[in-house]
Amino acid sequence: MSEHTTAVTDAGFAQDVREASRTQPVLVDFWADWCGPCHSMSPILEQLAADNAGRVKVVKLDVDANPQTPAALGIRSIPTLMLFRDGELAATHVGNAPKAMLSAFLDAKLAA
């Protein structure tokens, strides 16, 4: 994906997100190539990943190529961000948002 974000798949979700979140929180961006708001949020997530390197891992899951995980998690709209901590879902944000709002969301949930 980029220097600060990586792609995950249905097959690797348990290991790359749930297990990985036991040592470091993982923020998952559920997106699709056809989704305009997803594309506009991508550089913001890249900045958040860079700003929070070592504090949170940021990954992206393409919902079209990997439909099982979004269905299992009840995702009905994209972009959706889900933060996992200690192997469990800790917070969800649905929809596009400016960097300040996403940064505040992440700071609040990581501090909790």
Report, as residue numbers or ranges, the catalytic residues: 35, 38
Give the contacts of 68 (CB within 8 A, at least 6 positions apart).
10
CB atoms within 10 A of CB 75: 19
Q: Is 34 helix (H, G, I), strand (E, B) or coil?
A: coil
Cα 32 to Cα 17, 27, 51, 60, 111: the distances in Å are: 19, 16, 24, 10, 29
Give the contacts of 100 (CB within 8 A, at least 6 positions apart).
none
30 within 8 A of 75, measured Cβ to Cβ: yes
